[in-house]
Structure 1
Amino acid sequence: MRCAQFRTALSARLDGEPTGLPGGRLDGHVARCAGCRAWLERAEQLRGRVRASAAAGPSDEWSARLLDGLGVRGLGGGQAPDGPEAVER
């Protein structure tokens, strides 16, 4: 089995999904493989940052920058976007 397959299983475990591998086999690989161990540490750190950010909620400034970056402006009050970025429903 390749590390990519173990990392997919680790990702599933982090998401609370079935890994498709016995837990002992997955844990054993992580214990032996420095690359997968480092990958798991980074994934856990990222998950923690994402959760903390989601708990804090987006700031109005963050939302404005995101909408500006997407080219969507003036959507307050239920207005539909104009121009090529408009999406038909």
Structure 2
Amino acid sequence: MQSAEKISITMTPEQLRAVRESVAAGEYASTSEVLRDAVRLWQRQRQEDAERLNVIRARIRRSLDDPRPALSFEDVEAHLEALFAEAEQGSDRA
């Protein structure tokens, strides 16, 4: 195992009780193991959030770089109305 540094943390009584219950139930060997697992989960969540944000930024960038002309509100509204009318006709046939 890599060298470790001892730290002090403050937890609510409910959090500490949950950690101790998990250790007592045999889910973890120690409170340190519980907290290391929690930090790993936190790190993974941060990485996933960063990846999702990068995907969103890339989609925005592609949209901004799209060479097609921008649509006016009226163009979008007319297109949506046509799509809704088409969908409604399709549901009438069913």
TM range (shorter): 0.3 to 0.5
Larger CA Rg, structure 1 vs 2: 2
In the superposition, the TM-score normalised over structure 1's length comes to: 0.35
User: Which of the two has greater helix per residue?
Assistant: 2
The higher-RCO structure (CA 8 Å, 6+ apart) is: 1
In the superposition, the TM-score normalised over structure 2's length comes to: 0.34
